[in-house]
Amino acid sequence: MWDKAVIDMIIAGIGETLYMTLMSTFMGYVFGLPLGVALAVTDKSGIKPNIVVYKILDFVSNIIRSVPFLILLIVLIPFTRTIVGKSYGSTATIVPLVVAATPFIGRMIESSLKEVDSGVVEAAQSMGAGTFTIIFRVLLVEARTSILVGATIAIGTILGYSAMAGTVGGGGLGDIAIRYGYHRYQADIMIVTVLLLIVLVQIFQTIGMFISNKLDRRRR
């Protein structure tokens, strides 16, 4: 049963999982980073408080985050179809993954930026720094370690979501685990895919922590 076909399938599964996870994380940050910055900046303790903008972003983020991913996956099928052209396969799965990841990433960015010492921001203001200078040269720089730690968490979570997407034909290791382990009672294949998922999460975690520690100047 561990013939070439199964091994090829698992290798392809790893490829699909990596593709979905990395693409979704990347796209998640493309949307989530500005969202997080906007949340942190417009909050009442932020550098440009704007209660209306904050409340809208806050509300939308919470709504998306409240919907269980499996439901979101199904609800978004028409939307996915308009964007990708079909609603199954790895590429199609990226759409709901990005939608789910964006508010999640935004919240993590928001909390990372809020950890930045308000005194440092005040010092920058006293030097005549404008909002954009403070965002790009103070907040994002001072918070980079925290943001990278957040990214490793995000990538692990998105990997988990991508496995869930397997249930609706999303492809990847999750898809294999469900088809073989659940529908065909082939526990051995399921265990192998689960182990592979664990290994992937570990790798991402290790790399992420290594980079963030390397970049942290607050260590002697």
Partner 1 sequence: MITLENISKTYQTKDGTVEALKDVSLTIEKGDIFGIIGMSGAGKSTLVRCLNFLERPTSGTVTVDGKDLSQLSQKELRLERRGIGMIFQHFNLLMQKSVIDNICFPLKISGVNKQAAKKRAEELLEIVGLTQKANAYPIQLSGGQKQRVAIARALATNPKILLCDEATSALDPQTTKSILALLKEINERYGITIVIITHEMAVVREICNRVGIIGDGKLVEHGAVIDVFSHPKSDAARELVLRNTGENRELVETLETQNCVRIVFSENSSFEPVIANMVLKFGMPVNILKADTKNVSGIARGEMILGLPEDEKLADDMINYLKERNLAVEEVSGYVG
Residues of the shown chain interacting with partner 1 in the complex, contacts defined by CB under 8 A: 117, 119-120, 122-130, 133, 137-138, 141-142, 144-145, 215-220
Quickly list DSSP for 202-213.
Answer: HHHHHHHHHHHH
Sequence-distant contacts of 30-33: CB under 8 A, at least 24 apart: 31/98, 31/102, 31/105, 31/106, 32/101, 32/102, 32/103, 32/104, 32/105, 32/106, 32/108, 32/109, 33/105, 33/106, 33/109
For partner 1, the closer of residues 101 and 134 by Cβ is 134
| CA-CA-CA-CA dihedral for 209, 199, 106, 88, to nearest 10 | 160
Identity of the residue, 43 or 175, whose beta carbon is nearer to partner 1 in the bound complex: 43
| Smallest gap from residue 155 Cβ to partner 1 (A) | 22
Q: Which is nearer to partner 1, 115 or 188 (CB)?
A: 115
- CB of residue 212 vs partner 1: minimum separation in angstroms? 12
Judged by beta carbon, residue 183 or residue 217, the one nearer partner 1 is 217
Minimum Å gap between C-beta 33 and partner 1 is 18
98 or 140: CB nearest partner 1:
140
72 phi/psi in degrees, rounded to 5: -55, -40
CB closer to partner 1, 53 vs 120: 120
Q: How many other CB atoms are found less than 10 A from the CB of residue 202? A: 11
DSSP state of 168: G
Q: How far is CA 200 from CA 16, 17, 30, 93, 212, in A?
A: 13, 10, 23, 19, 18
Work out how close the CB of 32 gets to partner 1 at its nearest, in angstroms, rounded to a whole number.
Answer: 21
* Cβ at position 131, least distance to partner 1 in Å: 9
Supply the minimum distance, in Å, between the C-beta of residue 213 and partner 1: 13
